[in-house]
Amino acid sequence: MDGLNDFRTARVAELLEEFRAIQCCIADVSVDPPYQSDYHTEGWAALRQCALDGQHILNCAADVTVPRTRGGELEQKKAELKQVLLDAYSRRHEAQKIYFRQDAAQRWINNRESVLQGQRPSSAHRHQLRACDEQLRLELSQITDEYVYQYLQNCDVSMSHWTGEDPSLSAVRRWVRARPQTT
């Protein structure tokens, strides 16, 4: 036995608390535009997708299948904690990714409102609104798994969290692929 189960348990608790906090932020954002005609615009569609994705990651079942280990009860507990750590870490990763996408969509809304200044869209706004859409697409394209993973690693290190057994990006991606996606 390696004596790290207390660290593993504490790390899982940290990850789950961070996941919960991010989920609360995701759930607090309105996905309904003030004008029904804006419903299908890119930013509002992105916000609705973020809400769906946030609900999905909250509701998907944990993978608690842990193979039996040799070495007794403590080794089995270690294997179980590592599985729970992967689940919690991956959920936090996905929630952070959703939160970043949601933040980009909210910037799009603010930029669009700045362009429109209380008016409804017209041909006079076409180029500026197209620029808002392009900026949103650019920002969303930059929110990659690599970016989110590195961001979270940097945050964990800066907060002096124990990261000794944090899953790799490829393990997180495998975890995500194993969950059916929303449409």
Calpha distance 126→133 (Å, rounded) = 11
Return the closest-CA partner of residue 93 out of 136, 144, 29: 144
Calpha distance 94→16 (Å, rounded) = 12
146, 61 Cβ separation under 8 angstroms:
no
Residue 57's φ and ψ, nearest 5 degrees, are: -70, -25
Calpha distance 138→13 (Å, rounded) = 34
Q: Collapse the DSSP code of 3 into the 3-class scheme (helix H, G, I; strand E, B; otherwise coil) and give the result.
A: coil
> What is the structure's pLDDT at 183?
46
- Which residues in the chain show pLDDT less than 70? 1, 64, 181-183
The pTM is what? 0.92
> What is the structure's pLDDT at 109?
97
Calpha distance 179→172 (Å, rounded) = 11
Calpha distance 140→49 (Å, rounded) = 12
94, 20 Cβ separation under 8 angstroms:
no
